[in-house]
A and B are shown apart, each in its own frame.
Chain A
Amino acid sequence: MNAPRSLSRLEFEPLPDSSSGMVELSRSPERGFFVAAARDIFLAFRSKGEVIQALVFFIVVVSLFPLAIGAETALLRRIAPGVVWVAALLSVLLTLPRLFASDHLDGTLEQMLLSPFPLTLIVAGKMAAHWLTTGLPLALMAPLLGLQFGLGGDELGVLVMSLLLGTPILSMLGAVGAALTLGVRGGSVLVALLILPLYIPVLIFGAGAVEAVATGIDYAANLSLLGAGLLFGALATPFAVAAAVKISLD
């Protein structure tokens, strides 16, 4: 395979004409979002272990509580929303290092910064892929775990809804922490310390929604607040993450 190659095979396309002095810019920059998301989902499928680990961690942590507390149905039902939400939160936290760290280490982030696509859209795509491979499976798994705690149909429905609205916020806030701690030693512990306080409102409104439906109060307010947080996060965090990534490359 080390035979010398003939020059004729090394043919180049002519460079795009820049005689006007201007550069022709990307045809559709918004594709950067999908390119980055597709890439990360592809990578996640290639190393399924990490995705499954987070899910198994979630299941195990939630299952520990009935074992530790005993088969007291009333108590278990009361703590179920909080337990599931805390476990989901920790499980997401566990996956945050892989969001940017390996791309930082192998130089992919440099390539992403110099990609014709805007970095903001690329990191937004990465965050979306992170949610699809962590938050979404957690939300879909939650009803099974809720049954363990004797939750009823309404409560299970609201639990899934609160997780579907809340876990993307966890991914987005987590991405900010992960990007800020890039290249820092002991980064994963630092992310936890940095991000867990920010997760508290999500935890309160998420678990609160399920608790509300269990006690017969209107839960819509909690879900609306989660939805508002989701929209705000989707608008603001990609810019923050892109800025943090740029700083980490300096």
Chain B
Amino acid sequence: MSNLATDPVTVPLSNARTLSAEGLTLTRGSRCLFRHLSLQVSSGEALMLRGANGSGKTSLLRVLAGFTMPDEGRIFWNNRPLAPAGSEARHLLFYVGHANAIKDDLTTLENLAQALAIDDVALANRTPAALSGALDSVGLLARRDLPARKLSQGQKRRINLARLLLIDKPVWLLDEPTNALDTDGVNLFTDIVNGHLKRGGLVLIASHLSIPLAGAAQELNLDENARVRLETIA
């Protein structure tokens, strides 16, 4: 019993969830975006990615999501290697980038329902009542049956906020999630992220805005010379 903690499969802390990366290096063309980057985010923690345009924030999120293979380095979940886009990664990671994955031909409600079907969210969490409730929370209930082509850019973003409310993946990788959102939308987004942190989720956000987060947060600064500065805020 005493060597239970050294068993590689058993994680000593109950409910520990940790996403970590070690020695990530990515070169795009002749430019090195980051070199030997390591990070660690645990349950209830947020990591804000900062940096100028083109400093590699999106690339880092895409590496963590498994879309891009890093030149070097590995990603771990609870200290076990996480295969990029492998089955485990696909059950853990949620990513929304610049593209909203919204179909103009579908209505607001249909877009949400289709997205959640692809996400394989449990049927109990996507009943018509649950979908309407989520749309109500993001202020889109009145636009429920409107084709998405009639929605503004910010409203399309809000459909993805509704999706965040219903998804049960622990790790959220969000690339400029507040783009096109109004002040109220940013507040709503902050509430949703804080709710997720409170239930023990992990959030990595690339954003220029400072978002008031509940709980521990780290800030990772990427600069033009591939230098990385990691600091703890709040």
Chain A positions near chain B (C-beta within 8 angstroms)? 1-5, 7, 9-26, 29, 31-32, 35-36, 38-39, 42-43, 46-47, 102, 105-108, 110-119, 122, 246, 249-250
Task: Give CA–CA (A115, B101) in the complex, Å.
Answer: 13
Q: Is A10 within 8 A of B191, CB to CB?
A: yes
Specify the chain A residue showing the minimal Cβ separation from B138: A5
Task: Give CA–CA (A118, B103) in the complex, Å.
Answer: 22
A1, A5, A110: the one contacting B101 at CB < 8 Å is A110
The residue among B85, B94, B196 with the most chain A CB atoms within 10 A of its own CB is B85
Chain B positions near chain A (C-beta within 8 angstroms)? 9-11, 14-17, 65-69, 77-78, 80, 85, 87-103, 105-106, 110, 114-115, 117-120, 125, 133, 136-140, 142-143, 165, 168, 170, 182, 184, 187-188, 191-192, 195-196, 198-201
Specify the chain B residue showing the minimal Cβ separation from A248: B67
Q: Is A111 within 8 A of B91, CB to CB?
A: no
Q: Quick one: given A5-B137, A105-B99, A115-B119, are A12 and B199 in contact (CB under 8 Å)?
A: yes
How far, in Å, is B217 (CB) from chain A's closest CB?
19
Q: Quick one: given A4-B184, A10-B165, are A17 and B15 in contact (CB under 8 Å)?
A: yes
The residue among B90, B168, B199, B201 with the most chain A CB atoms within 10 A of its own CB is B90
Q: Quick one: given A5-B139, A20-B10, A46-B105, are A111 and B115 in contact (CB under 8 Å)?
A: yes
Task: Give CA–CA (A110, B62) in the complex, Å.
Answer: 10
Task: Give CA–CA (A26, B119) in the complex, Å.
Answer: 10
Task: Give CA–CA (A19, B16) in the complex, Å.
Answer: 6
Q: Is B118 within 8 A of A39, CB to CB?
A: yes
Kindly list chain B residues whose C-beta atoms are within 8 Å of the C-beta of A18. 15, 17, 78, 170
Q: Quick one: given A9-B137, A246-B85, are A112 and B118 in contact (CB under 8 Å)?
A: yes
Q: Is A7 within 8 A of B94, CB to CB?
A: no
Q: Quick one: given A4-B187, A111-B119, A115-B90, are A15 and B199 in contact (CB under 8 Å)?
A: yes
